[in-house]
Amino acid sequence: MEIIKGVGIGDGLAKGKLIPLKKGTGGSHRLSLPDALEKAKALLDELYQNAKKTVGEEKAEIFSIRKMLLEDEDYLNRLDENVKKGLSPLMAVEEAGDHFFRFFSSLEDEYLSARAFDISELTTLLTGILKGEGFSFLTPTEDSILVMEELTAEQVFLLQDPKITGVISEKGNPNAHASILAAARSLPLLLLPEALSLNGLFGDAILDCEKGSLFLSPDEETLRAYEEKKAKRKIRKAVLQKLKGQADKTKDGVEIKVYANVNHPEEIDAVMENDAKGVGLFRSEFLLQNGVLPKEEEQFLIYRSMLEKMKDRLLIVRTMDFGADKCAPFPFPTEERNPALGLRGIRYSFTFPEILTTQLRALCRASVYGNLGIMFPMVSSKGELTEAKARLQDVQKTLRKENIPVKEHILTGVMIETPAAALISDVLARDADFFSIGTNDLTQYALAADRENPSLAPFITADHPAIMRLIALTAENARKAGIWAGICGELAKDLTLTESLIQMGIREFSLPPSMILPMRERIQNTISVPGKESYVSL
């Protein structure tokens, strides 16, 4: 047995055969272009069938659309001409990809221009096959732990086969979206640089994310320890279930809002199942599917159904936070050297006002079906907040003129994700109903450390004093203005910090649904004021 240390995401536990998705494992010989096309079609069929089972026929359609594009006469002719001109299969695919990407991006029609994204995905798929990259991993026959170069946020949504028990990714960072989504979906994930070069990559393994350990060819004792840990988890889960229906109150009686982070509408079921008192962050940008945004009516139906499922519990929708490491609708207006410092969040929304207006209209229309809050991402000045709120008010006015009912007051919050926002939180607090501190970005910007860069993980301490001070300042300014401050970044999950954060004045935590009950338990054992045990029994 060999034990290898990596960075575990969440506290997942997995057992299975390691499946390396190594560059070069897709075929030891070079494929011809026609063979690569056939292979791509078979893969798209497989993806279609898998997606149909997991996310439904409508969303699965995208793979049949891609297959149609692959069979399109113009596309095939272009490839053919390229090969006749003497280009290698790889170059032929890249040139055709580039050509059709430009073509589709230039079209006015929204549906057709979104096909540019499909073309770029097809190019990646085909070049991957031609380079011999392993890709067909979606239907393992036994429990498997995938080892891959980089798990992307999009792949997390696709990895729904219960036989995929865990993932090891060479690249990644605990604050990157792929990690956040994996943790939210309880997919055990280990970040392990150069994992694909390990010896013993085809054997059995155990993954313990809590310890950040990978056990290769586990011995009897390790297997027994794994089974015991699993059994203990089951008992712990049963104990936590007893907290359902209870209040989120500290020992000295201070009510804390324990809300859930949601990345996909279907996760509302887990929110209710875990008795979260609300949703503190719905990352609505993940409604973008394959480069296409749902229209106003579709968005309205999604928000309405989420609100209805949540009964009267608060649902805070963050307006779409496009840009930086997250996909954005095509075409993105500029090539950016520093996307994290670029056109993202509210800046993107102001640049493409029609996207913001469509979303706000859908949200306002849905507001009468439940308890809705709206918050804006990446705000860094008072002017941006004023402008965002003005857009919201305009939409409300227009809807009323159209005789469409809208909730009288929709809670409006600001995400505190930039040091600038934290530093002017006294000013922002005057115009906000609440603050939600996005510590993932706040940490990135305060420590000048790219959250996506795998080599920076050792340099990022979540509870760095600078971050703690920015949080304390924000909480204090919120308290003075009579509004609440919460945390929706990954820092909220660290239960060793909960008491200090509450004592700083944090009054809301938004976490993955699986963390709701552990947080409730933690809060119930917390005192809200430093050194004032006497407040107990208030």
- Give me the residues that bind Mg ion (CB under 5 A), please: 417, 438, 441
Q: Which of 438, 454, 486, 518 binds ligand PEP (CB under 6 A)?
A: 438
Q: Toward Mg ion, which CB reaches closer, 275 or 417? A: 417
Q: Which of 367, 439, 477, 526 binds ligand PEP (CB under 6 A)?
A: 439
Q: Toward ligand PEP, which CB reaches closer, 247 or 341? A: 341
Q: Which of 120, 152, 440, 477 binds ligand PEP (CB under 6 A)?
A: 440
Contact at 8 Å (CB) between 275 and 245?
yes
Q: Which of 185, 277, 283, 304 binds ligand PEP (CB under 6 A)?
A: 283
- Residue 99 phi/psi, 5-degree rounding, is -60, -50
* Pairing mode, strands 257-262 and 508-511: parallel
Closest CA to 385 of 328, 424, 440, 335: 424
Select the binding partner of residue 439 from ligand PEP, Mg ion, none (C-beta < 5 to 8 A, by kind).
Answer: ligand PEP
Q: Where are the alpha helices (DSSP H) in 447-530?
A: 465-481, 498-504, 516-524
Q: Toward ligand PEP, which CB reaches closer, 425 or 440? A: 440
Report the catalytic residues: 177, 488
* Shortest reach from residue 390's CB to Mg ion, in Å: 23
Select the binding partner of residue 307 from Mg ion, ligand PEP, none (C-beta < 5 to 8 A, by kind).
Answer: none
Applying CB under 6 A, what is the total number of residues that bind ligand PEP? 11
* Shortest reach from residue 343's CB to ligand PEP, in Å: 15
Contact at 8 Å (CB) between 376 and 388?
yes
Contact at 8 Å (CB) between 80 and 21?
no
Encoded tokens for 400: 């009323």
Q: Taking contact as CB under 6 A, which single stretch among the options 36-44, 124-132, 398-406, 434-442 is the one that binds ligand PEP?
A: 434-442
Contact at 8 Å (CB) between 257 and 316?
no
Contact at 8 Å (CB) between 251 and 526?
yes
Beta bridge pairs of residue 292:
289
* Shortest reach from residue 180's CB to ligand PEP, in Å: 6
Site for ligand PEP in 202-231 (CB under 6 A): none
Q: Toward ligand PEP, which CB reaches closer, 18 or 446? A: 446
* Shortest reach from residue 324's CB to ligand PEP, in Å: 8
Using CB atoms, what's the residue nearest to Mg ion? 441
Contact between 488 and ligand PEP (CB under 6 A)? yes
Classify 471 as helix, strand or coil: helix
- Residue 495 phi/psi, 5-degree rounding, is -70, -15
Q: Toward Mg ion, which CB reaches closer, 440 or 528? A: 440
Task: Report the amino acid identity of residue 535.
Answer: Y
Q: DSSP assignment of 7-52, as one string?
A: EEETT-EEEEEEEE--BTTT-SSPPPHHHHHHHHHHHHHHHHHHHH
Select the binding partner of residue 488 from Mg ion, ligand PEP, none (C-beta < 5 to 8 A, by kind).
Answer: ligand PEP
Contact between 417 and ligand PEP (CB under 6 A)? yes
Q: Toward Mg ion, which CB reaches closer, 215 or 376? A: 376
CB burial of 247-276 (b: ≥16 within 10 Å; e: otherwise) equals ebebbbebebbbbbbbbbbebbebbeebbb
Q: Which of 8, 26, 172, 489 binds ligand PEP (CB under 6 A)?
A: 489
Torsion of CA 182, 269, 327, 321, to 10 degrees: -110
Q: Taking contact as CB under 6 A, which single stretch among the options 11-19, 47-55, 247-255, 432-440 is the one that binds ligand PEP?
A: 432-440
Q: Toward ligand PEP, which CB reaches closer, 123 or 439? A: 439
Q: Taking contact as CB under 6 A, which single stretch among the options 3-11, 437-445, 498-506, 511-519 is the one that binds ligand PEP?
A: 437-445
- Give the list of residues 6+ apart from residue 322 with CB closer than 8 angstroms, or none: 285, 288, 328, 329, 344, 345, 348, 349, 355
Contact between 508 and ligand PEP (CB under 6 A)? no
Torsion of CA 482, 487, 488, 494, to 10 degrees: -160
Q: Toward ligand PEP, which CB reaches closer, 76 or 462? A: 462
Contact between 319 and ligand PEP (CB under 6 A)? no
Q: Taking contact as CB under 6 A, which single stretch among the options 5-13, 298-306, 435-443, 523-531 is the one that binds ligand PEP?
A: 435-443
Classify 508 as helix, strand or coil: strand
* Shortest reach from residue 471's CB to Mg ion, in Å: 15
Beta bridge pairs of residue 401:
none
Q: Where are the alpha helices (DSSP H) in 106-219?
A: 110-113, 115-130, 153-158, 177-184
Closest CA to 489 of 434, 452, 442: 442
Q: DSSP assignment of 389-407, as one string?
A: HHHHHHHHHHHHHTT----
Q: Toward ligand PEP, which CB reaches closer, 170 or 490? A: 490
Dihedral sign from CA coordinates of 19, 23, 26, 27: negative
Q: Toward ligand PEP, which CB reaches closer, 181 or 307? A: 181
Q: Taking contact as CB under 6 A, which single stretch among the options 78-86, 204-212, 438-446, 515-523 is the one that binds ligand PEP?
A: 438-446
Q: Which of 441, 450, 452, 508 binds ligand PEP (CB under 6 A)?
A: 441
CB burial of 399-428 (b: ≥16 within 10 Å; e: otherwise) equals beeeeeebbeebbbbbbbbbbebbbbbeeb
Please report, as ranges, the residues that interact with ligand PEP according to CB under 6 A.
Answer: 180, 281, 283, 321, 417, 438-441, 488-489
